[in-house]
Amino acid sequence: MEKKKLEILGISYSQSQSGAYALILGEAGEKRRLPIIIGSFEAQAIAIELENMKPSRPLTHDLFKNFAETFNILINEVIIYKFNEGIFFAKLICFDGKNEIEIDARTSDAVALAVRFKCPIYTYEAILKSAGIILQDDDPEEAEVSEEVKSKKTEKSTEEDFSKLNMTELKEMLKKAIDEEAYEKASKIRDEINKRKKKDQ
């Protein structure tokens, strides 16, 4: 399977889960976005490294990196290889100088380590198709996602709300959510659209 390279575009506050964040990954050179809900600790671990901030004592992910490098283990790449029931699965592709080893990891931890090892993050087309969101904005400036952690006030929508809408209304709502960079909301609308498409098949 051909791998698709992802870039970290930003982190924003989760609109529905208290204390959670949405990590926004984007397909390199394309308009597709992959929003992933992560915890506050992992969001902080990723943001600190992206901003080149050095904590006074090593964080857990820094400790892991120091431990791995002490024993000459590298992480060559991170692959988000599975998406099931709203959960992303990732693995670390490690190399000890002789053997390549795959280690299962939570996606948030895998990304936090990827930024420390400065290794690429990949996923597969099937995951981008099922969980990705396509930017429909023609304005390249508006299409960019801010790298700052930011809060957006958007109306909360539940699955019950979506169930009352027809496909046309859902698609319009999806476009609006993407335009407003409300990626978590957009992912829920996308899930509802995909659910209905499966029922129609």
Q: How far apart are the first and last CA of the chain?
A: 25
What DSSP designation does 117 have? H
Per-residue pLDDT reduced to its tens digit, 92-118? 999 999 999 999 999 999 999 999 999
**Higher pLDDT residue, 95 or 162?**
95
Residue (of 149, 112, 109, 107) closest to 11 by Cα position = 149
How many H-runs (helices) and E-runs (strands) does the chain carry? 8, 8
Instruction: Report how far residue 153's alpha carbon sits from residue 151's, in angstroms, rounded to the nearest whole number.
Output: 7
Whose tokens are 């209905």? That residue is 196
Per-residue pLDDT reduced to its tens digit, 15-72? 667 778 999 999 998 989 999 999 989 999 999 898 888 888 888 999 999 999 999 9
Contacts of residue 107, Cβ cutoff 8 Å, sequence gap at least 6: 36, 38, 80, 88, 89, 90
Q: In the prediction, which pLDDT does 158 show?
A: 41
If you average pLDDT over every residue of the chain, what do you get?
Answer: 82
**Higher pLDDT residue, 104 or 162?**
104
**Higher pLDDT residue, 151 or 165?**
165
Contacts of residue 140, Cβ cutoff 8 Å, sequence gap at least 6: none
Q: Does domain 3-151 have CATH number 3.40.50.11540?
A: no
Domain coordinates of the chain in residue numbers? 3-151
Q: In the prediction, which pLDDT does 181 show?
A: 62
User: What is the pTM assigned to this prediction?
Assistant: 0.70
C-beta of residue 163 within 8 angstroms of C-beta of residue 192: yes
For the record, the structure tokens of 90 come out as 């990732």
Torsion of CA 174, 143, 134, 47, to 10 degrees: -100
CA 90, distance to chain mean position in Å, is: 11
Residue (of 86, 176, 165, 167) closest to 135 by Cα position = 176
